[in-house]
Amino acid sequence: MVLQNELHFVLVPLMSPGHMIPMLDLARLLAKLGGVMVTFVTTPVNLSRIEAVISRMKESDLPVRFLSLQLPCKEVGLSEGCENLDLLPSPMSLHNFLAATKMLEEPLRLHLQQSSPRPSCIISDFCHPWTRHVARDLEVPRFDFYSMPCFALLCEHNLNVRRMDDGVGGEDGLPIVVPGLPLRVEVARVQAPGFFPRPEWAWMDDEIREAESVSHGVVVNTFAELEPEFLDLYERTSGKKVWAVGPVSLCNELAIDQASRGDKAAIDVEKCVAWLDAMKPRSVLYISFGTLVRSSLAVLVDLGLGLEATRRPFIWSIKAGGIQAEVEDWLAQGFEERTRDRALIIRGWAPQVTILSHPSIGGFLTHCGWNSSLEGITAGVPILTWPGFSEQFLNERLLVDVLRVGVPTGVKTPVWDGTIADGDLQLNREEIQKTVERLMDAGVEGEERRRTVTELSKRARSAMEVGGSSHLSLTRLIEEMRLYAHKKTTLVP
């Protein structure tokens, strides 16, 4: 007989902040529910980033273990310590990085074969299709984890099917209609290229499809009330059961957990909150492009000048990467001085959930990474959309056209590391000023958007409460694994 406390969930996130952070939240949620032990698989560099979270979990006696496996960077031609997507020298090294993650298969299998209690299931980032071999050898179910909406998953799925059928849409810049949706959604081919669009990454798409075909279902950071028709349709189209368990960020109930989420903040969090306290309610725009998108200096300068022209208060989280010195030069040439009384610039990691939850925040300019988008919705903050890459243009369509909580900046060209073609400047300062004004506007359109996002924020919170849809979903997932483990034990002679 399997005892209550013998369930053991193994969580294997991709080593990228946008994948690790929600998985760590999921670990906390599972552990809080009781009767489940969690192993969170990571690597030394990533472990050190989340030290504060780990010690908070220890203080709360949460049954979460951290397994730190050595990522063989050198073997694949990466420098030592290059253990996270945000540390890659360029997107071109993604191939090497993924090759290194694949080499974690054997050490993970060895560890789990000896672990006690025996694993009950593996929840794996979809970018780790190799975990299917480990699950198979341990004879446990494997789930794919996505921190992206069912809307984007469905669009990607349908576009992919069409891509295979007829080579979809031909020309990169021309809009195509996403097939099989209950409403008309248009994206340019280049804006929805699939998760691994370069020919040298094609093996990943094949492996992901193969892993999905044998997976037990998908665990998604969304909530049923946000996108009921797309959740349902994705389930039917993919043939996979969806467990919608979000917004997972809400598991960080205490201010201290919100402030230390993901990494150590590059700013004194108390000072940041005090700065926000001094601002009028809903007056401040928060700007962040997440953890991977890198803008060129020209884009940052135009963005800064556009923000300055609005004369509104803002918090700007800048991650300049390789152009830090140039950005500092530009900030020092007068921008920071001119905006000193109404701008807070964060150089590095921002305590994003803390900032978004503050009543002074009135808008969020984001790259439409799904974690950020959902965190904005959860905080009840209207969103200005400036998608970068991957599924972010699809997330924009969801925010703007379906949920009606977003205003599009009008950016059309995908960008990851600032390498857009000369003259293909994304937006000029006047356009930025205009779209910020539209977002922060107190008129009828702005008020309607605020009402809509406030309502969604309430539903997000209800979904995570005891008896809410996401809470039930996670409880059922645990129950299903309990039954599965029970059957397995009783079947063994």
Binding footprint of ligand UDP on the chain (CB under 6 A): 17-18, 21, 261-262, 288, 290-292, 317, 349-350, 352-353, 369-372, 375
CB of 261 to ligand UDP, least distance (A): 6
Instruction: Write the DSSP symbol of residue 124.
Output: E
Helix ranges restricted to H, 282-428: 297-310, 324-330, 336-338, 352-356, 370-379, 392-397
Contact 438, 406 (CB under 8 A): no
Contact 399, 374 (CB under 8 A): no
Q: Which residue, chain included where needed, has tokens 């179910």?
A: 141
Q: Indicate if 95 belongs to the active site.
A: no
CB of 263 to ligand UDP, least distance (A): 7
Sheet holding 217-220, edge to edge: 64-68, 36-42, 7-12, 121-125, 142-146, 217-220, 242-244
Q: Indicate if 125 belongs to the active site.
A: yes
Cβ burial of 379 (10 Å; 0-12, 13-18, 19+) is buried
CB of 196 to ligand UDP, least distance (A): 15
* Nearer to ligand UDP (CB atom), residue 353 or residue 407: 353
CB of 451 to ligand UDP, least distance (A): 24
The active-site residue, picked from 8, 25, 125, 471, is: 125
C-alpha distance from residue 438 to each of 360, 409, 434 (Å)? 18, 10, 6
* Nearer to ligand UDP (CB atom), residue 17 or residue 193: 17
CB of 370 to ligand UDP, least distance (A): 5
Helix ranges restricted to H, 87-149: 94-102, 105-114, 131-138
* Nearer to ligand UDP (CB atom), residue 18 or residue 169: 18
CB of 388 to ligand UDP, least distance (A): 7
DSSP, residue by residue, 227-284? SHHHHHHHHHHH---EEE---GGGG--SHHHHHTSSS--SS-HHHHHHHHHTSPTT-E
* Nearer to ligand UDP (CB atom), residue 121 or residue 393: 393
* Nearer to ligand UDP (CB atom), residue 369 or residue 380: 369
Cis peptide before 91 (omega within 30 of 0): no
Cβ burial of 395 (10 Å; 0-12, 13-18, 19+) is buried
CB of 148 to ligand UDP, least distance (A): 8
Instruction: Write the DSSP symbol of residue 78.
Output: P
* Nearer to ligand UDP (CB atom), residue 11 or residue 112: 11
The active-site residue, picked from 8, 19, 128, 157, is: 19
* Nearer to ligand UDP (CB atom), residue 120 or residue 291: 291
CB of 145 to ligand UDP, least distance (A): 13
* Nearer to ligand UDP (CB atom), residue 18 or residue 217: 18
Buried-state track 311-348, b at ≥16 Cβ within 10 A, e below 16 = ebbbbbbbbbeebeeebeebbeeebeeebeebbbbbbe
Q: Which of 386, 327, 390 is nearest to 85 (CA)?
A: 390
Q: Which residue, chain included where needed, has tokens 């295979």?
A: 164
Residues catalogued as catalytic:
19, 125
